[in-house]
């Protein structure tokens, strides 16, 4: 696989949150790399409250990691 | 996307808890940005005990992050 | 919403555990504030083993936060 | 409710694990205090692989808390 | 119950991972101690992708605890 | 079982993420070691949005451990 993760350090908390989203999606992509299948599946979970909550849960776990890496962007 | 997260620091634990709720909702919104769909889905999960518990779980994970960022608001 | 969370510090671990329960319930209440609906839903999950385990899981996550805030009530 | 949690400190890791089990069960009992209902529900989840895994998950989360409180019982 | 957990310290990360598996199984065994029932249940979850992922999740949580206890086996 | 985990230390965050994937798969393999069964199960969960999200969740938990072990690859 190509290089997609050089660092966990980001300038702002929001960029850190967006990195957490990337990590969550990559966690899926390593298991299912086919973009056509992924697009079909997205149609499902983007319209299911339970699936969206589960997705937000994974983002929250990854955001813990990114936030700790950045010392919570404390000034 | 617009700027919505400048800092994880809040004045009080309650504001931190409310920020955790914002983070949880944003985790959903990055996957499903359509406000009409989100409103429909909310009608579902706001009346399902399982869905509400799952939502509270995500808030708890994000609150861990916010609380750590604020050193637990210790005096 | 009214002020309901002034501090994560408690005198004893048991009070900390009870605060974790409060946090878990508040995580639900921000999504579903209607007390009538909440009471109906409680009738469901209080009689479902899976729902009770899920509720205990959320309490466990929040208790991690409260326990860390209190330095685990070490003497 | 009576006093049931005085300290998170235990002599051994195994006692800590057993305290984590107590915490997990108390997390259920605060929501469903009726011992008759609890006994019936136990008949269900003690024979469901999914329910037992979910129960073990909650124990694992509480064990993280107890283990940290005890500095992992390092000598 | 017999003594089965004397220490969280292991020589290698792999032994730590295997201890995390032991902890996960013990979390089940405290709820369902009957070896005959456990063997039947294993036949179920060893052939269910969802159940295996849930089992791996519990191992991951326990591995966090064991890895922290060992300071991540840093040299 | 053979030796498969010598260290949690990796050169880059991406290698750490890939180690987290290995840990997640090993967590499955200790319960279901048969490669034929595992291949069949993969056909299922690689096409289920819920199963992929659950898999990504486990990776996220293991990535927390690996990232902490590496001090988040801070320079």
Helix/strand/coil (H, E, C) string of A5-73?
CCCCCCCCHHHHHHHHHHHHHHHHHCCCCCHHHHHHHHHHHCCCHHHHHHHHHHHHHHHHHHHHHCHHH
Within chain C, how many helices (H) and strands (E) appear? 3, 0
In the numeric block, which tokens belong to residue F35? 């490669």
A56 inside 8 A of chain B by CB = yes
Residue E71: pLDDT band by 50, 70, 90 thresholds? very high
Percent of chain A at pLDDT > 90 equals 92
User: Across residues E61-74, what is the average pLDDT?
Assistant: 98
Q: Between D and E, how many CB-CB pairs are < 8 A?
A: 90
User: Is A7 in contact with F13 (CB distance < 8 Å)?
Assistant: yes
E73 inside 8 A of chain F by CB = yes
pLDDT tens by residue, F27-72: 999 999 999 999 999 988 899 999 999 999 999 999 999 999 999 9
User: Across residues E34-47, what is the average pLDDT?
Assistant: 92
For residues A59 and F67, give the distance between their C-alpha atoms in angstroms, rounded to a whole number.
Answer: 16
F10 inside 8 A of chain E by CB = no
> Residues of A with CB below 8 A from F17's CB?
5, 23, 26
Mean pLDDT computed over every residue of chain C: 95
Radius of gyration of chain D from its Cα atoms, rounded to whole angstroms: 14
Question: Chains meeting E at 3+ CB pairs closer than 8 A?
Answer: D, F
Residue E75: pLDDT band by 50, 70, 90 thresholds? confident
ipTM confidence: 0.95
Residue A43: pLDDT band by 50, 70, 90 thresholds? confident
User: Across residues A49-64, what is the average pLDDT?
Assistant: 97
For residues C5 and C2, give the distance between their C-alpha atoms in angstroms, rounded to a whole number.
Answer: 9
pLDDT of residue D1: 64
Backbone phi, psi, residue A34, to 5° = -75, 115
For residues F28 and F30, give the distance between their C-alpha atoms in angstroms, rounded to a whole number.
Answer: 6
pLDDT of residue E1: 64
Q: Tell me, rounded to whole angstroms, the distance of Cα C61 from its chain centroid.
A: 9
- The minimum CA-CA distance between F26 and chain E, rounded to whole Å, is 8
E38 inside 8 A of chain F by CB = no
User: Across residues F13-35, what is the average pLDDT?
Assistant: 97
* Cβ-count burial A7-45 (b if 16+ within 10 Å, e if not): ebbbeebbebbbbbbebbbbbbbbbbeeeeeeeebbeeb
Residue B14 pLDDT greater than 70, yes or no:
yes
> Residues of D with CB below 8 A from C12's CB?
5-6
Residue F1 pLDDT greater than 80, yes or no:
no
Mean pLDDT computed over every residue of chain B: 95
Whose tokens are 């808390």? That residue is: D65
> Residues of D with CB below 8 A from E32's CB?
46-47, 52
- Cβ-nearest to D53 among E37, E55, E65: E55
Residue E64: pLDDT band by 50, 70, 90 thresholds? very high
Residue B1 pLDDT greater than 70, yes or no:
no
Question: Chains meeting F at 3+ CB pairs closer than 8 A?
Answer: A, E
Mean pLDDT computed over every residue of chain E: 95
pLDDT tens by residue, C25-47: 999 999 999 999 999 999 888 99
- Cβ-nearest to E52 among F3, F28, F69: F28
pLDDT tens by residue, D1-47: 699 999 999 999 999 999 999 999 999 999 999 999 999 999 888 99
User: Across residues B42-56, what is the average pLDDT?
Assistant: 93
Residue B9 pLDDT greater than 70, yes or no:
yes
Residue D75 pLDDT greater than 90, yes or no:
no
pLDDT of residue D73: 98
Q: Tell me, rounded to whole angstroms, the distance of Cα C3 from its chain centroid.
A: 16
pLDDT of residue A40: 93
- Cβ-nearest to C72 among D4, D51, D69: D69
Instruction: Give the count of beta carbons closer than 10 Å to the beta carbon of residue B71.
Output: 11
């Amino acid at each position: 696989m190509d290089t997609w993760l050089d660092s966990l350090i980001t300038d702002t908390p929001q960029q850190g949150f967006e990195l957490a989203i990337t990590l969550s999606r990559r966690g899926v992509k390593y298991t299912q790399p086919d973009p056509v299948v992924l697009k079909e599946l997205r149609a499902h979970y983007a319209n299911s409250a339970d699936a969206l909550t589960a997705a937000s849960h994974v983002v929250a776990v990854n955001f813990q990691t990114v936030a700790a890496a950045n010392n919570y962007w404390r000034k």
